[in-house]
Structure 1
Amino acid sequence: MDYNKISKEVLENVGGKDNIISAAHCVTRLRLVLKDTSKYDKVALENIEGAKGVFFNSGQLQVIFGTGLVDQVYAAFVEEADIKESSLEDVKTEGRKSTGKLQEMFKAFSDIFVALIPGIVGCAMILGFRAILITSGLFGLEATLADTYKWASDLSAFLNVIATGLKFLPVFIMYSATKRFGGNPVLGIIIGLVLVHPELGNRFDYLQGNLTDITYWNFFGINIPEVAFQGGVFPAILTSLFLAKFEKFLTKRVPQILSFILVPTLTIIVSAAALFLVFGPLGDVIATGLGYVIELLYMKSGVFGAFIFAAVLQPLVITGTHHAIGSIEAQLIASTGFNYIQPLWAVSITAQGAACVGMFLLAKKKSKRREIAISSFVPTLVGVSEPAIFAVNIKDSIIPFACAVVGAGFGGIYMKILAVKALGFGLTGIPGVTIVNPPVMIHYIIGNLITFGVTILLLLIYNKFKRVPGSHE
């Protein structure tokens, strides 16, 4: 494959060197920010060798090449275009300048949690291993391993301690969110520690009316309950935004000679006051509202709600509004220790991969469509659905995507009936097995297999009665 030829063709069909603001790449996509977005030729880009799809999102033109190939194309492209290499964050920043406020807000949620996922995944896997030690009935035992063997009991206690990161999730969110909003992340950590201060009362008990010995601070006639914000995902995000903005406000107005002392001191005091007076209670309201919606959809609506929940996740990916789901998952983990959205994410992505396989079966043998279909399917195994969606499932018609949406819904029903839950978030597909609650791990696998089979079956049945666009006649 001639990477130089590919890069030249890409450059020619995006308006040339003068139309490039910045370029970067992620795992599967070449990401470009253009001066004039009317100058790129989508059809021509899709027909370039190795290209699996083209779409425009978050202010970026994204050309899907796939894992490995995109690295080679990007290296040749920056040389051909004679531009400096940009980080993915640089391109995202440029792209945000041309996106709407609502889309930018949803994207901010993703940016906050992406940096935290490795730590969350690591802690979740540790807790998953611990769950094996404290689950009754495994390995032919009536009791748990921890109850039966001293070494298992000690190991269980040790693992519980080293996975403590999930108990301090608001601290990490404050750090990541403050950094994302342009503030000093160390100040974010300080306010994050205030959120979980051990001398303050328990927030969950307080909200449920179970905290009887509440004490209050009284400032100028305002009573503030001495209660922490354990699990306070939304209070952390809202306070981080305020902290970053207020710090910038002070930096511009405080004399430079006093800035080193006054800016951090006033930022901590005012941000902490804003936390307890405004953003903590407001965050509780948001969390309660979202919790009510999720409970209504998933808990009270039964299998119907689970079907809808799993079905709508990938349509949200297309709109870019799926980024907010991570904050809901974090809230679930912080408040309950479990995440039942992760299995629904898994089946929604598996379904998109299954639709790719279905289109592979329907495509002409030895055609480029087959090559694109199978190479777009592979990323779904590790939880990446965009190549499948944009390169195959909505390229010629909405039918493959729609079949995948329905297939995901059936997978969601199975996950609901069998109460499949995860101990973390950020991993789906095959790697997602590592963070699923061990007692229901087999049902996670079965649910994904059901989704895979139902999606392909729906696509083949539809094609039997009416040809799917893009399939071989």
Structure 2
Amino acid sequence: MDYKKIVEEIVTGAGGKDNITGATHCVTRLRLTLNEETFDKEKLENIDGAKGVFFNKGQLQIVFGTGLVDRVYEAFVKELGIGDLGSEQTSALTTPTDKSFKGQTQEFFKAFSDIFVTLIPAIVGCAMLLGIRAIFNTTGIFGLEGSLADNYRWAKDIASFLNIIATGLNFLPVFVAYSATKRFGGNPVFGIILGLILIHPDLANRFEYMQGKLQTVNNWDLFGLEIPQVAFQGGIFPAILSSLFMAKFEKFITKRIPQMLTFIFVPAITILVSSLALFLVFGPLGDIVAAGIGSVANFLYMKAGVLGAAIFAALLQPLVITGTHHMIGSIEAQLLSETGFNYIQPLWAVSIISQGGAALGMFFLAKKKSKRREIAVSSFIPTLVGVSEPAIFAVNLKDSIVPFISAVIGAGIGGAYMKIFDVKALGFGLTGIPGITIVNPPVMIHYVIGCLVALAVPIVILVVYNKFKGVAGAEV
């Protein structure tokens, strides 16, 4: 593949080098920030390896797919002389040029995604270790009475060791505070300190406090205010909100203290004020936010039962299109911190694989040896590892909304199946085939079956629909 030629065609299609002010990329898409929203969509779509083109959140986004987008971006940087972008620069580039409420809302949701992107590998690693530990602790496995750990000393010790080295999930608020402070432009070391305050062992357990299980709770009398001496275990939202405040306050106070004194006073004042803000404002507010979002998720999954889970799963990919899906990761982290399980991961899995099923359905309907077939199958493959954008933008929404809707229906049915068999994960960030590694072992087989159901449903719908009404984009 001639990457230099691809870059040249991108530049031409994007309106020339002078029209490109910045570039970055995500897992599947090359993202360009333009001076003017003028570009040749047809020319860009015909670039070798391109699977789709759209303009969203102030950016021209070209879908290349996993792996390929990295090589295209490297060539783009080399040819145009653009330096690699750090997180703060990338954040600046992704700020919507549109200052409307919609644009600001999209950027707010994207911030949540940015916070968790760097944490996902660690979370996934710890979750996989806990998944292995669960094999040793699962009752009745291999036909035993009790678990492996109950029957064998070596199994018990391995399970204990795995529990210790997977301890990262116990300190998730620390990592979130670090990443959030860095994302919002503050000193990430201050974020670590804030995170440690959130889970300080000398403070009372917040889960027990919120459930009314503590008979007595000590209070601080600070400036006439009574502040409960309670930690924020599992406090994902308090960590994010407090980190945002701390990053902004650090910049504010730095500008107002003489430069020769900043080294001494800025850290002390920033940590003091941010900690007060945590206990007085953002901790309680974070609890309210988490409770509110959790209530919606809890209602759909727990109270509304199978129907609610189906609706939840069906809505996930429409949220991906709007960019408002980024906060879901925060909910998953909150669930993981509070319960040790994540019921949203299986719903993510079926929602993504169903988009792959729709792309595969369009593959079967397209003419043999056509470019549409090539694009369809190459867009299907990423869904097996949890990436749906190529399937959505290059196939399922290209000529008609029918493939996308068929996938939404497949996701709903797959989500209902996951609910019926109580499929849960021990982490988040992995779906598709890799997601098997973090699924609770006793229900792993149902995770696989649920994904296969979600894959098959849109294929059946498209074949039947095409027979009676015809699907735009088929047989071309």
CA distance in 1 between counterparts of 2:44 and 2:365 reads 24
Secondary structure of residue in 1 paired with 2:30: strand
1:84 aligns with 2:85: no
Q: Deviations over 1:87-127 (max 9, x none)?
A: 37434421214252111100000000111111111111111
Match of 2:471 in 1: 468
Measured on the aligned residues, the alpha-carbon RMSD in Å equals 1.4
Which residue pairs with 2:460 in the alignment?
A: 457
Q: Deviations over 1:157-192 (max 9, x none)?
A: 111111111111111111000000011111111111
CA gap 1:275/1:74 in 2 versus in 1, 3 angstroms: closer
1:46 paired to 2:45 = yes
Q: Distance in 2 between matches of 1:291 and 1:10?
A: 43
Deviation at 1:23, TM superposition (A): 2.4
Q: Contact (CA 8 Å) 2:29, 2:62: kept in 1 or not? A: yes
The alignment status of 1:440 with 2:404, answered yes or no, reads no
Greater Cα offset, 165-174 or 70-79: 70-79
TM-score relative to the length of structure 1: 0.97
> How many angstroms does 1:287 deviate by?
1.1
1:22 maps to 2:22: yes
- Measured in 1, the distance between the counterparts of 2:196 and 2:74 equals 43
- Name the residue aligned to 1:32: 32
Query: Partner residue of 1:96?
Result: 95
Alignment of 1:124 with 2:127, yes or no, is yes
How far did 1:136 drift? 0.5
1:278-298 deviation per Cα after TM superposition (whole angstroms, max 9, x unaligned): 111111111111121111111
Matched residue SS, 1:467: coil
Q: Could you say what secondary structure the match of 2:325 adopts?
A: helix
CA contact (8 A) 2:96 2:104 kept: no
Q: Deviations over 1:254-298 (max 9, x none)?
A: 111111111000111111111111111111111111121111111
1:342 matches 2:340 = no
1:56 CA drift (Å) = 1.7
Q: Which amino acid aligns with 2:449?
A: I
Distance across 2 between alignment mates of 1:236 and 1:76: 38
Report the residue type matching 2:464 in the other structure. I
Superposition deviation, residue 243 in structure 1: 0.5
Partner Cα separation in structure 2 for residue 26 and residue 275 of structure 1: 32
Which deviates further from its counterpart, 344-353 or 70-79?
A: 70-79
Check conservation: 1:24, 1:87, Cα contact below 8 A: yes
Q: Which amino acid aligns with 1:119?
A: A
- Structure 1 unaligned segments of length 5 or more: list them: none
Q: Is the 8 A contact 1:350 1:380 kept in 2?
A: yes
Give 1:44 shift: 2.1
The answer on 1:242 being equivalent to 2:245 is: yes
Q: Do structure 1's residue 56 and structure 2's residue 59 form an aligned pair? A: no
Distance 1:334 1:42, change over 3 A: same
Q: TM-score, normalised by structure 2?
A: 0.96
Q: Which residue identity lines up with residue 358 of structure 2 in the other structure?
A: A
Tell me what 1:292 maps to. Answer: 295
1:223 counterpart residue number: 226
Distance 1:241 1:73, change over 3 A: closer
The AA in structure 1 aligned to 2:31 is R
Whether the aligned pair in 2 keeps the contact of 1:31 and 1:91 (CA below 8 Å) is no
What letter is aligned with 2:39?
Y
Farther-moved stretch of structure 1 (45-54 vs 230-239): 45-54
In the alignment, structure 1 residue 413 sits paired with structure 2 residue 424: no
Distance 1:400 1:256, change over 3 A: same
Q: Distance in 1 between matches of 2:380 and 2:29?
A: 15
Asked if the contact 1:232/1:283 (under 8 Å) is kept, the reply is yes
Q: Which runs of 5+ in 2 are unaligned?
A: none
- Asked whether the 8 Å contact 1:32–1:91 carries over to 2, the reply is no
Please identify runs of 4+ aligned residues in structure 1 that moved more than 4 A. none
Distance change >3 Å, CA 167–CA 375, structure 1 → 2: same
The partner residue of 1:397 within 385, 400, 419 is: 400
Shift in Å, 1:342: 0.2
Once residues 303 and 4 of structure 1 are traced to their aligned partners in structure 2, the CA distance between those partners, rounded to angstroms, is 51
Q: Between the two proteins, what is the percent identity of the paired residues?
A: 68
Q: 1:236 to 1:78 in 2, by over 3 A?
A: closer
What one-letter code is carried by the residue in structure 2 that aligns with 1:121? V
Counterpart CA distance in 2 for 1:449 and 1:88 is 39
Structure 1 residues 297 and 462 mapped into 2: Cα distance closer, same or farther (>3 Å)?
same
- Cα distance in structure 1, aligned partners of 2:314 and 2:388: 14
Q: Which residue in the other structure is 1:183 paired with?
A: 186
Give the distance between the partners of 2:421 and 2:413, measured in 1 at CA: 13
Of residues 360, 363, 370 in structure 1, which corresponds to 2:363? 360
What SS is found at the alignment partner of 1:322?
A: coil
Matched, 1:8 2:8: yes
